[in-house]
Amino acid sequence: MYKILKKEDLSEQITLFDIEAGDIARKARAGNFFILRTHEQGERIPLTIADFDSGRGTITTVFQKVGKTTNHLGTFNEGDFLTDVIGPLGNHSHIENFGRVVCVGGGVGIAPVYPIARALKEAGNKVTSIIGARSKSILFWEEKMRGVSDDLIVTTDDGSYGTKALVTVPLEEIMMNEKVDLVVAIGPAIMMKFVCKTTEKYNVKTVVSLNSIMIDATGMCGGCRVEIGGETKYTCVDGPEFDGHQVDFDLLMKRLQAYIPEEHTARCGGKGNGGK
């Protein structure tokens, strides 16, 4: 059983948990994820490790209440216990001094990009971060991102804060003016697709972290398969990070839609396995 030590609502739909999970915290590296179950019959959901503290033995995660399980998870409070927490999973980010790096976090994707930006900064890179949200009320971790970046650009789709733009607008402006060695982008698939379309024009290596539907997360079920450069790869064991210019984003987005009717049934009290 894994205790929730801290709960913070970052917005109406976005929640942060610090979870007591010493073994995972000691081994976690930027880019890893973990799987949790809220109860014995619950579905397994993958969540990115947004931060970790090996001294305290905690991992931090930020999740959006979108489906039955994440809504159920949102009802947990400090002091409550999660049934299973397994990790760290997936390959960690490749960190070295690339030189000039731009980290792009869109929406909830700001949380997983944070430890990567921090690790890249610690490795000596010049890091510019771009964080974007639909609106000011759902933007989070501005100060945390500023703390691990040489420069921070904030965008909102509706112009309620920062620059009124999608994250790709300042990204393109940077690339038009200077040489960038690496872009790391995490957010909705459509954002990562358009980040990659932008960086392709300037031939800048782009790493994305994919959020495909996952079940066992050990490479056995094939549920998280994605197409990378025409080859089938499993996000859980081959990723979650891939060369963005090789990703078939249209297929990923199609597969992300595959269970929408079942998710709707589960949310409306049907027999989805995410509830009690």
User: Least distance from C-beta 257 to ligand NAD, angstroms?
Assistant: 11
Select from 269, 222, 229 the least CA-distant residue to 249: 229
Helix (H) or strand (E) holding 249: helix 249-256
One symbol per residue from 33 to 52: x for binding ligand NAD (CB under 6 A), - otherwise; what is it? ---------------x----
CA 263 to CA 78: how far, in whole Å? Answer: 27
**What part of residues 138-197 is at the interface with ligand NAD (CB under 6 A)?**
155, 157, 166-168, 186-188, 190-191, 194
| Stretch touching ligand NAD by CB under 6 A, among 79-87, 105-113, 216-224, 268-276 | 105-113
**How would DSSP label each residue in 1-59?**
-EEEEEEEESSSSEEEEEEE-HHHHHH--TT-EEEEESSTTPPPEEEE--EEETTTTEE
Residue 78 or 158 with smaller CB distance to ligand NAD: 158
Residue 22 or 188 with smaller CB distance to ligand NAD: 188
| Stretch touching ligand NAD by CB under 6 A, among 68-76, 86-94, 132-140, 143-151 | 132-140
Burial label, 215 (beta-carbon count in 10 A; 0-12, 13-18, 19+): middle
Tokens standing for residue 215: 């079940």
Does position 244 interact with ligand NAD (CB under 6 A)? The reply is: no
- CA torsion, ordered 107, 134, 172, 110, to nearest 10 deg: -20
User: Least distance from C-beta 1 to ligand NAD, angstroms?
Assistant: 25
One symbol per residue from 202 to 231: x for binding ligand NAD (CB under 6 A), - otherwise; what is it? -------xxx--------------------
Residue 5 or 256 with smaller CB distance to ligand NAD: 256
Does position 112 interact with ligand NAD (CB under 6 A)? The reply is: yes
Residue 141 or 194 with smaller CB distance to ligand NAD: 194
Residue 93 makes CB contacts below 8 A (sequence gap 6+) with 29, 30, 31, 116, 119, 184, 207, 241
Q: Could you tell me the CA-to-CA distances from 247 to 106, 168, 197, 219, 252 in Å, in that order?
A: 18, 18, 11, 19, 8
Q: Report the DSSP pairing between strands 33-37 and 100-106.
A: unpaired
User: Least distance from C-beta 55 to ligand NAD, angstroms?
Assistant: 25
Degrees to nearest 5, angle at CA 14 with 208 and 213: 45
CB neighbours of residue 262 within 10 Å:
15
Per CB under 6 A, the list member of 42, 67, 109, 170 interacting with ligand NAD is 109
User: Least distance from C-beta 77 to ligand NAD, angstroms?
Assistant: 22
Residue 41 or 69 with smaller CB distance to ligand NAD: 69
Residue 127 or 186 with smaller CB distance to ligand NAD: 186
Does position 107 interact with ligand NAD (CB under 6 A)? The reply is: yes
CA 76 to CA 8: how far, in whole Å? Answer: 11
* Residue 232 and residue 205 in contact, taking contact as beta carbons nearer than 8 Å: no
User: Least distance from C-beta 109 to ligand NAD, angstroms?
Assistant: 5
Positions in the binding site for ligand NAD (CB under 6 A): 48, 106-109, 112, 132-134, 155, 157, 166-168, 186-188, 190-191, 194, 209-211, 240
